[in-house]
A and B are shown apart, each in its own frame.
Chain A
Amino acid sequence: MKRCSALALVALLAIPVAASAAAEKTLTVGAAVFPDSLRSGASSYASLSLLAQTNDPLIARDNKGDLHSALATSWEPVDPTTMRFHLRQGVKFSDGTEFTADDVVFTIGRVIDPATAYAMLSRIGQVASVTAVDKYTVDIKTKTVFPTLLRGLSDIIMEPKHYYEQAGAAAVAGHPIGTGPFIFQEWVPGDHYTLTTNKAYWGGAPKFDKLVIRTIPDGSTRVASLVAGESQVIEEVPIDLTDQVNTSGGAKVEEISTTVGLVLTFDPTIKPFDNPKVREAFDYAVNKPLILQQILKGQGELLQGQVLTKGVLGWNPDLKARPYDPDLARKMLQEAGYDFNTPVPIATQNGKYVSDTDICNAVAGMLNQIGVKATVNVIEGGVFMQMTNAQKLGPLYMVGWYSVGDADFASVWYTKGGYRTKWVDPEYEALFVAARSTNDVAERVKDYHRMMQILNEQNPSMFLFGLPSLYGLSDSVTGFGAAADKILRLTQVQFK
């Protein structure tokens, strides 16, 4: 009898829960990084990815990083420091209130108020004020010429003024209301976020009923949930599991290059790394194409001797990555009087970037082959941050810089004011300021090309790879694209 009931129990457990699925189409996404709240203004794109489901920006980015109209339908400069935006008319927040210029004025005003501590403020840091011209027109004034205003605005979601005034910021974070494609239903911290489709969405209602974004922190489990059909989209497929997804028969991997440039930065205040020849020799000693092929499985791209990834505004097409030449590297080091007994610890975090520790190990191995005493020093994230702020990460350390489509955002880290490298070059500094101070795109591109050339000649960092973004996608859905900025764009997704 006991055995019978045990069997019955097992049978009961095995009954699938698909009974209600026919009536309602639910898209389930397995998220790798799950933010801790729905508070707007956090610095991470993982947070923006959740907020962007309920709230739209004035100007939207697509998966490749190109800009499109969203809540603003058109815009034109009034003078060099004022941009006029014409808003989309007839758009309603999910509670039925109309979206107007008041909401834009409120949102931008809230973002630029230091008391809000809005981390994405730096994206539109030069904005001075915002005024409503009429119900559907706003003017945004900037302190200086601000060429990245439009791109910066694509990171700022529009929020409802009336709701903030009625309920307060804490209530908004607990239950956001927006004009976006989905409507808040339930938020369970550390577990999942459930939304329903906004049938009245101005951009066309998504063709499924419910969206569940689940956190699945472990990569293998995420893949398992995709293969088992529990989720239709998963973020961050671990690079060594891409074959498993592609051969599962029900899912495939979608890949796109992100704008993250992975680099190994030198500290030129530590001798002998003050000598550009030594830094250049190190660059020759690393077989980057081999690492790309073996560790990144050919996903992502080789950085062409600059921090920017291909296609970003300011990327210099004339530059090429240095070839792998260990003999030349050794010779250059000898000529530079390099002491081969100098210990070279490479500082890295583990799991911050795709295969970060593995890549550092490979680089250290290649440096060892030419006689350099390189080792890898894996540092816990919090401590790494602490060392970064103290600017004491040692002679060589791994970081990745996002450019999100514009050279300004990544090149700032090689300026004095960026506080992220001790390398200083007066010409580079001047060009950075110049490129920031004009709206003339051709002029800016010219400046960035020269800046990239300086980086290439001086090697403040070894420029390694543009990192890939890998999504797992079930064959049961269409219309999903991998996003360079890792923001989920789900309005076009359909079940087959």
Chain B
Amino acid sequence: MSELNLLRQTIHFEDPLPLQSGASLSHYDLVVETYGKLNAQANNAVLICHALNASHHVAGPSPDDPKDIGWWDNMVGPGKPVDTNLFFVIGVNNLGSCFGSTGPMSINLESKEPYGAHFPVVTVEDWVEAQARLADRLGIRCFAAVMGGSLGGMQAMAWATQYPERVAHCVVIASTPKLSAQNIAFNEVARNAILSDPDFHGGNYYKYGVVPKSGLRLARMVGHITYLSGDDMAEKFGRDLQRAVGASDEYKFSFDVEFAVESYLRHQGDKFSTYFDANTYLLITRALDYFDPARRFDGDLSRALAKAQAQFLVISFSTDWRFAPERSREIVKALLDNKHQVTYAEIDAPHGHDAFLLDDLRYHGIARAYFEKIYEQIETKIGST
């Protein structure tokens, strides 16, 4: 078999899901994509957790739009580092998101209207609870690996402590054990852009037939700056002026787009604001802010990670200033304090936080080698039973 074997399904859950905030979701849907094949022992499953703006669509062309390639297609697929010829890979759209799983755009069956502002605030830990129910439904008792980048890495870490016996390997890429004040500050600017958009209507904009597009656009522009490194921006755009070929390169002395970087950010913002939901942006940035597993342990991350049983692979990127290598080293230190199994690679890459989504031989080489070892362990286990 060397096909991706993509299967997309929407799975409905009727058991109420209690949330960290004290609220609960009485019923909900999760949109899921799976790739490859679950083996008879059901021990080759890999859960891929998504970050802010991604979805269940991890790999391959989308069933409804062949041009829409999965967000981690360079990592997951036949012959890729996470090889779907060997592993059964699961992508799940998280609660509160806007790609089909229950979120602010969904109809609240009680009010018969979209949830909008009434959708409860969800946390990384809540997502893991929902994912655990999904695993139950799919017949997976223990994942070969739970893996994610950025916010996805937070979910992988949360899995390792919420369900220590259900995660054999935990792969945490370009992530952090908690947001810094600077990280929260950027999120706050982004949220403020949305909240202050006149089309926001307190989060209930759906019924007015509008979306807070300019706020969402601005939020994305701010966010996008934090995904790139200064060097990367300098190389891509420098101080290049945005001019048609042959046009004058004199300054225009106006506030129109002058520099190439402005054009790029506006383009990113425009694109994003056509497909993403503003309420989801608020919810997911808040989930990022709240994540802090050490908080219940007097800030001691080592104690927070004590009960993990998984083996860890932690990867960071040298020019990532959003979740810098220092943040990953905090995770590594906490794991070492507990004598947990851990491998840490610090990839020298110029692309800032976004590097975790990009092609890089060293990065993908480490991931590939690590998953090959995971597969060897699975085969050994099967051989010995």
**Is the A/B pair a real complex?**
no
The chain B residues found within 8 Å of chain A, CB to CB, are none
